[in-house]
Amino acid sequence: MDEATIRTKVKEIIANTMSIEPEDISDSANFEEDLDLDSLTLLEIAVDVDHVFKLNIPDEELSERLSDLRSLQDSVDLVKEHMSSTGVEA
């Protein structure tokens, strides 16, 4: 799966969680500064991303990585990293 497809799906997940349009999320969006996401909403998005892409990230790792997820690109990178390391194709 290419990066653009992953980015589009992640935007859709964020938009659904926040009740906004995916087009309202820029490719360089920062979760805290641009989208005003709190930690609970970010956790919800991370769990949804894990589910949609069938990454099966262990809870401990997801909790550790959550503090590193600051932007849309960070989320895209996390998906790409786990898809390539596990051979998962969403």
Query: What are the structural domains of the chain?
Result: 3-86 (1.10.1200.10)
Checking if the pLDDT of 89 tops 60, the result is: no
The CA distance from 13 to 85, in Å, is 22
CB proximity list for 7: less than 8 A, separation 6 or greater: 27, 72, 76
Predicted structure pTM score: 0.89
pLDDT of res. 17: 96
pLDDT of res. 62: 85
- DSSP letter (8 states) at residue 34: T
pLDDT in tens, 51-81: 999 999 888 888 888 888 999 999 999 999 9
pLDDT in tens, 8-55: 999 999 999 999 999 999 999 999 999 999 999 999 999 999 999 999
